[in-house]
Amino acid sequence: MPSSRRHFLQRAALGGAGLLLAPLAGLHSCAPGSSRSHISGSLHGANRATGHLLRDPASLPAPTRTEAVEVLIVGGGVAGLTARRELARLGLRPEQVLLVELDEQPGGNSRAGRNAVSAYPWGAHYLPVPDPRNHELLAFLAEAGILTGTDAASGLPIYNEYYLCHDPEERLFIKGHWQNGLVPELGVPPAEKAQLARFFALIDELRQTVGTDGRDAFRIPVDESSCDEQFRHLDEQPFAAWLDAQGFTGSHLRWYLDYSCRDDYGAPAAQVSAWAGLHYFAARKGRAHNANGADVLTWPAGNGFLVEQLRAQAPSPIRPNTVAFALHATPTGLAADCYNVATRQTVRVAARQVIMATPSFITERLLASLPAAAYRPLPVHRAPWVVVNLTVEGLPQGPGQPLSWDNVLFGTDSVGYVDAGHQSLSLTDAGPRVVTWYRPLSAPNPEAARRQAYQTSYDDWVRQALAELETAHHGLTAQVLRADVWVWGHGMVAPTPGFVWGPARAAAARPWQNQLFFAHTDLSGISIFEEGFHQGQRAARQVLAARSTGLA
Amino acid sequence: MDKVPVRRVKRPALGASTAAAVAPTDYRSTLLLGSVFVIATCGLIYELIAGTLASYLLGDSVLQFSTIIGAYLFAMGIGSWLSRYLGGSLLRWFIQLEILVGLVGGFSAPLLFLVFEHVSSFRLILYALVGLTGVLVGLEIPLLMRILEGRFEFKDLVSRVFTFDYIGALLASLVFPLVLVPQLGLIRTSLLCGALNVVVAGIALYRFPETRPFRRSMGGALVASLLALAVAFGFAERLQAYTEGLAFQDQVIYTKTTPYQRLVLTKNQRELRLFLNGNLQFSSADEYRYHEALVHPVMQALPQARRVLVLGGGDGLAVRELLKYPQLQHIDLVDLDAGMTQLFQHNQMLLELNHRSLLNPKVRVINADAYQWVRQDSSRYDCIIVDFPDPGNYSIGKLYSAAFYRALEQRLAPGGWAVVQSTSPYVARRSFWCVAHTLEAAGFTALPYHCYVPSFGEWGFVLAGRNRHWRPDAGPLPPGLRYVTPATIRAMRFFPPDMSEVPTEINQLNNQALVRYFEEDWGPYVH
């Protein structure tokens, strides 16, 4: 009786907001009789069912008609959308380009959702203030109204203040208290503080370091970094081993570095290369007139905002719910059979050029019927992720810094949560909000982790997220109006030792016969917006170069 | 009581579907089901009252609400468990229980208000009372189900009792915030629910023949309880004022809880004071100094002004000063809190204070978030008065940012001026100068000044315009001012060394420098 009455109380008092929430795929509920029994929501996986159609392409219907385009882009993540935008900028007409996306909407790892309370990210959720030398990226940001001008005196870009992350930006829950910033300070012994200081001094130095080839030791995009052996050899050993050798052994520093690697790569310091571990810090060279290099740009929808801008900056069609399969050579180029999950029809799309903006494991399947030379295998370590969007009536706060944009709990498996309402300009602080909790399922064997992730129930995910968050927010469970879960079976590439500077990555990015081009962050080894953008640009330009060669 | 002849209810054989053996629904059963509805409503309201009171008196609403609900539900569980030990005449138990719930629940709010100031361990009393109410409420439904056991088939019984229980809960959760609290206040809501419980007891007592043997004795208790609740209901106003007065020294003459804040008006022989969430907003004894200083230095420089925007200032006192300029044609006032602006449009005493300014046909009152409104509005104003609360948290801090001032600049007509209330340059020196520097960074000419308001201390303002064409004696001042003259304005522009300019950061959305200054500057004064 009491538990059912409590359930009713929450439904009755808070249900108003709950009812307005947009209905999403498959409503799941938490275990009845548990403290979570009032919680329900959706459980998504990056369209696993559709993706897995590719395992048995023979079962898909034969094409009923044929279309012709100049360039077909397979995959609507950041790389694919950027390629689409770049092709338009380079002069291709809308009807000459077609993008097919397996999911019901484009965005890839930068997808976003929305309910009656707020928009919220399902994956990537910020862009660090960019290196001003990244002119192409800056041009995109200017076109999107994110970059609003240039300071006459310093020549530095000025960013839209409503998009620069508002203060307070980050906090860390450590020893029962929220401290400012994510680098552990509270209760850290002096010897470890000295290590932290030494590490960040080294990073400052590496940030300035230039190789003998005149290139920065660490730079975004990765391909702009120096090829010097002295830096490249860092890619041969695990970050953790390198840290041990350098005497960076303090538990707080190591937690922080593990957190950072898990945050960007989905894998801890033991699984990524020292080059990648250092790149995370030393490649951040953002400068702006009204922000510093540590600042980030963010939106309630996270990088879903950037995806929307990319989409809006080109006119060519995007065909969602569409699986491309059976790519094959034709006398005039290539053709892909494209199966639409909604209409259950297959269309053959003939194209002079195809850009594969897909992760390597998809690319491999799609190109199976082309000659072996078309695809150079790129084995990628890819951790699964789980993202939980919690719509809460309130967020009971512990002592210390108030709710910030990024909120991390020291010593936990997750990488914390972001507050989707952080950039709000409203005075009414109270009331429902959405927070997005991220957890990479880092394991030495991602295959096993992925299997386990797909078997974990909705209730288990919500239980795990709340069990962790309750340690910092006592009573949060009762405040949850809705919990929506996304299981990313194939999260993103982890720059394992030898990946970034190894031969496979470079080979996999090479076009084939002026017909087949590749664009994906797998080809960078680092899955961040800037790399996806760079990959898309590079592939689009290669396509154009190939076309002009063909014409000549 | 074992001697009382009670109709024994027959329990259907376990597992047997014996609809025929079950008594048909009679009007007494309907009465009892109706009482489930009342009981459920009252039960939830007691819980909401305790939660609201705890968060109001102890702060940290989320924690208080969570722990109160938890404790209450746990106590209900104990009550449900204890119900097994009640035997004999269940109806008699039920009637006694309802009278007891009516008294304990009904007097819970007035009691908590009364003891708050006098008892050191208020929390203990709060939870004891919540626990007691919870136990009693927890007994109700199991007891009623047992009384109704023989009157319905088990599946119907469960279905009906719980249906009424949950509908009652829904009703409570809606009427409590929407009707009861705004109309009656917490104390009278509590007493009213207590009376409803006693009425349920009364109906049971006089409608069931089984109660005849104890009607007289219990009837007396029932009437006495109802009378006590009614008397308390009559005195609730005075009680509320008395209890608030304990916290506010002077006599509390009005309180109101809006969705955004708690308004309390106090009065003594000399002055009327308004507190928002316990912070003094103005004292009628010297508010003229503040509002004259806020309005006239900027207005005297704009003799051609026609349109004015006031941000904040829902008390209408700045508007009162503005209306002394007959050339003004239109004033927009944007204040988040409709509860505040309505109070200052309707309360007689406050209308006398603000000269009915918010009812003036030239004035349009808009209840909206100021930042959003400034960004979305497209009109221009000759003068903008910015009278926000001090930048005590990150949400308000955004209303003092360079980005906000740039948005504000879009609303300013050519040649127009704005003025910004900018906390105390004496207590919060860096905060004050941070506001001035931020206005400059946003492209304004910033002219800081300050005045002395006895109930606040030294208070600061910053004039902000696109040019430097401002003079302290540009135009005529309205007659009848008590503080501001051209000489006063000149004097207000002078900053003695202990308040003079200090270097500060610019307050940006991405650094919130002002909130940090403000916290540090005021910290020593509040803790």
> Is there a single domain that holds both residue A385 and residue A375?
no
* Residues facing residue B366 across a β-bridge: B334
Chain B residues whose CB is inside 8 A of the A5 CB are 40, 44, 73, 76, 165-166, 169
> Nearest-CA distance from B62 to chain A in Å?
6
Tokens of A362: 């998809």
Inter-chain CB proximity B62 and A402 less than 8 Å: no
Which residues in B lie closer than 8 A to residue A12 (C-beta atoms)?
166, 169-170, 173-174
Q: What is the rounded CA–CA span in Å between residue A81 and residue A75?
A: 8
Identify which of A12, A168, A395 has the shortest CB distance to residue B512: A168
Shortest CA distance from A6: residue in chain B: B73
Give buried/exposed letters for B5-38 (b at 16+ CB in 10 A, else e). ebeeeeebeeeeeeeeebeeeeebbeebbebbbb
**Which amino acid, A24?**
L
Q: Do A166 and B336 touch (CB under 8 A)?
A: no
- In this structure, chain B runs to a length of 527
Is residue A541 a part of any domain in this protein? yes
Shortest Cα–Cα distance, B511 to chain A (Å): 5
In a domain, A88, yes or no: yes
- Say if A62 falls within a structural domain: yes
> Are residues A515 and A366 located together in one domain of the fold?
yes
Mark whether A324 and A404 lie in a shared domain. no
Q: What 3-state class would DSSP assign to A334?
A: strand
Q: Tokens 């993008």 identify what position? A: A99
**Rounded Cα–Cα distance for residues A251 and A229 (Å):** 30
Domain assignment present for residue A295? The answer is no
- Dihedrals phi, psi of B252, to nearest 5 degrees: -85, 125
Inter-residue contact A279 to A529 (CB < 8 Å): no
> Is A346:A305 a contact under the CB 8 Å cutoff?
no
Which residues on A lie below 8 Å from B63 (Cβ)? 396, 474-475
Considering the domain boundaries, does residue A263 fall inside one? no
Contact in structure between B518 and B392 (CB atoms under 8 Å): yes
What φ, ψ does residue A137 adopt, rounded to 5°?
-65, -40
Out of A2, A166, A475, the one facing B509 most closely (by C-beta) is A166
Residue B355 annotated as binding site? no
To the nearest 5 percent, what fractions of chain B are helix, strand and coil? 60, 15, 30
Give buried/exposed letters for B251-268 (b at 16+ CB in 10 A, else e). ebbbbbbbebbebbbbee
Contact B77 A478 (CB under 8 A): no
Q: Position of tokens 């097994």?
A: B84
Characterise A326 by phi-psi region: left (phi > 0), alpha (psi -120 to 50), beta (else): left
CB B367, CB B258: distance < 8 Å: no
Within 10 angstroms of residue B278's Cβ, the number of other Cβ atoms is 11
Q: Tell me: is residue B291 an annotated ligand-binding position.
A: yes
Q: Verify whether the Cβ–Cβ distance B141 to A9 is below 8 Å.
A: no
Q: Are B79 and B138 in contact (CB under 8 A)?
A: yes
Which strands make up the sheet holding B457-465, listed edge to edge? B363-366, B330-334, B307-312, B381-387, B412-421, B457-465, B445-453
Give the span between the Cα atoms of B184 and B438, in whole angstroms: 46
Interface with B, mutate which of A14, A151, A166 (most B CBs under 10 A): A166
Residue A417 within any structural domain of the chain: yes
Q: Confirm if A413 and A267 have CB atoms less than 8 A apart.
A: no
Q: Quick one: what percent of chain A has pLDDT higher than 70? A: 94
Separation between Cα atoms, residue A49 and residue B132, nearest integer Å: 55
Given a cut of 50, whether residue A18 has pLDDT beyond it is no
| A337 and A388 both lie in a single domain | no
Neighbours of B91 (CB within 10 A): 21
Residues of A in contact with B401 (CB under 8 A): 161
CA distance A58 to B176: 63
Instruction: Please return the burial class of B115, using the count of CB atoms within 10 Å of its CB with bins 0-12, 13-18 and 19+.
Output: middle
Binding residue per annotation — B304? no
- Residues of B within 8 A of A9 (CB-CB) are 44, 47, 69, 169, 173
CATH number at A489 reads: 3.90.660
A396: nearest CB among B47, B62, B74:
B62
Q: Identify the CA nearest to A539 among candidates A519, A512, A513.
A: A519
- Bridge partners (DSSP) of residue A297 are A127, A164
The answer to whether residue A5 scores a pLDDT higher than 90 is: no
Positive or negative: CA dihedral A493, A497, A499, A500: positive
Two tokens at B356?
């009915």
User: Which of B66, B80, B396 is opposite residue A1, by nearest beta carbon?
Assistant: B80
Q: Which residue of A has its CA nearest to B138?
A: A2
Reduce the DSSP state of residue A261 to 3 states and report it: helix
Closest-CA distance, B456 to chain A, in angstroms, reads 24
Distances (CA, A) of B16 to B153, B154, B156: 10, 11, 14
Q: Cα distance from B421 to chain A (closest Cα, Å)?
A: 17
A2 with B77: Cβ contact below 8 A: yes
Least confident range of A13-27, A227-241, A387-401, B274-288: A13-27
Same domain, A414 and A488: yes
Residue where one domain finishes, among candidates A448, A465, A493:
A493
A34 with A73, same domain: the answer is no
* Residue from B287, B280, B286 nearest B389 by CA: B280
Contact A475 B394 (CB under 8 A): no
**Shortest Cα–Cα distance, B230 to chain A (Å):** 29
Contact A426 B372 (CB under 8 A): yes
Reading the block at residue A333, the tokens are: 């180029």
Tokens of B224: 């006495």
Q: In the predicted model, what is the mean pLDDT of residues A379-390?
A: 94
Contacts of A164 in chain B (CB under 8 A): 508-510
Closest CA to A326 of A58, A2, A18: A58
Tell me whether residue A285 is in a domain. no
Assigned token pair, B491: 């004097």
- What mean pLDDT do residues A363-370 have? 90
Chain A with chain B: Cβ pairs closer than 8 A: 111
Give CA–CA dist A112/A301, Å, rounded. 5
Number of Cβ within 10 Å of residue B292's Cβ equals 23
Which residues on neighbouring strands pair with residue A114, listed in sequence order?
A119
Question: What token pair was written down for A477?
Answer: 């469970």
A4 contacts in chain B (CB < 8 Å): 162
Write down the pLDDT at residue A13.
37
Q: Do B393 and A169 touch (CB under 8 A)?
A: no
Domain assignment present for residue A16? The answer is yes
**CB B232, CB B225: distance < 8 Å:** no
Is the distance from CB of B308 to CB of B386 less than 8 angstroms?
A: no
The chain A residue lying nearest B393, using CA atoms, is: A402
At B179 the pLDDT is 86
Domain boundary among A493, A510, A541: A493
Q: Write out the DSSP string of A408-472.
A: EETT-SS--EEETTTT---S---S-EEEEEEEE---S-HHHHHHHHHHS-HHHHHHHHHHHHHTT
Residues on chain A bordering chain B, Cβ-to-Cβ distance under 8 angstroms: 1-6, 8-9, 12-13, 161-162, 164-169, 290-291, 295, 394-397, 402, 425-429, 474-475, 478-479
Neighbours of B472 (CB within 10 A): 19
- Ranges of chain B whose pLDDT falls below 70: 1-25, 55-61, 116-121, 240-253, 269, 526-527
- Pairing, β A27-29 against β A322-330: unpaired
Enumerate the residues of chain B whose CB falls inside 8 A of the CB of residue A421. none
Point out the domain boundary residue: A450, A474, A493.
A493
What's CA A499's distance to the chain center, in Å?
A: 19
Please report the pLDDT score of residue A171 as a whole number. 97
CB contact under 8 A, B394 and A167: yes
Element (H, E) at A149: strand A147-150
The predicted pLDDT at position A47 comes to 64
Going from the N-terminus, what domains does chain B have, and what CATH number goes with each?
19-238 (1.20.1250), 286-526 (3.40.50.150)
Distance from the Cα of B397 to chain A's closest Cα (Å) equals 10
| Nearest chain B Cα distance for residue A299, angstroms | 13
* Total number of domains constituting chain A: 2
**Domain housing A478:** 2-46+381-493
Residue A321 has pLDDT above 70, yes or no: yes
Contact across the interface for A12 and B169, Cβ inside 8 Å:
yes
The pLDDT, as a whole number, for residue A552 is 40
For residues A487 and A542, membership in a common domain is answered with: no
Q: Assess whether A314 and A462 both reside in one domain.
A: no
Q: Please, which residues have CB within 8 angstroms of residue B221's CB and are 6 or more apart in sequence?
A: B99
Q: Do A9 and B173 touch (CB under 8 A)?
A: yes
Is the CB of A168 less than 8 angstroms away from the CB of B394?
yes
Contact (CB, 8 A) for B504 and B513: yes
pLDDT at A225: 97
For B403, the closest of A6, A161, A479 (CB atoms) is A161
Asked whether A278 and A218 are in contact (CB, 8 A), the reply is yes
**Same domain, residue pair A26 and A55:** no
DSSP bridge pairs for A28: A41
Q: Is the confidence metric ipTM above 0.85 for this complex?
A: no
Nearest chain A residue to B510 by CA distance is: A166
B369 annotated to bind ligand: yes
C-beta atoms of A478 and B174 within 8 A: no
Contact A162/B44, CB-based, under 8 Å?
Answer: no
Residues 6+ apart with CB under 8 A from A137: A130, A530, A533, A534
Nearest to B73 among A2, A166, A402 (CB): A2
Look at B169 and A8 and tell me if their CB atoms are within 8 Å.
yes
Stretch A501-517: mean pLDDT: 95
A534: domain CATH number?
Answer: 3.50.50.60
DSSP B476: P
Q: How far is CA A197 from CA A183, A233, A269, B295, B405, in A?
A: 11, 24, 19, 52, 38
Say if residue A522 is in the same domain as residue A375.
yes
Mutate to test the interface with A, among B46, B49, B62 (most CBs of A within 10 A): B62
**Residue A427 C-alpha, separation from nearest chain B C-alpha, in angstroms:** 5
> Are residues A59 and A105 located together in one domain of the fold?
yes
Quick one: A74 and A6 in the same domain? no
Secondary structure tally for chain B: helices H, strands E: 18, 11
Whether B370 has a binding-site annotation, put simply, is yes
Alpha-carbon span B525 to B527, nearest angstrom: 6
Q: Which residue has the tokens 């106590």?
A: B75
Kindly list the catalytic residues of B: 387
Write out pLDDT tens, residues A243-279: 999 999 999 999 999 999 999 999 999 999 999 999 9
Nearest to A166 by CA among B400, B406, B462, B442: B400
A-interface mutation test, from B508, B511, B518, most A Cβ less than 10 A away: B511
Angle at B179 between CA B236 and CA B44, to 5 degrees: 85
In angstroms, the first-to-last Cα distance of chain A is 81
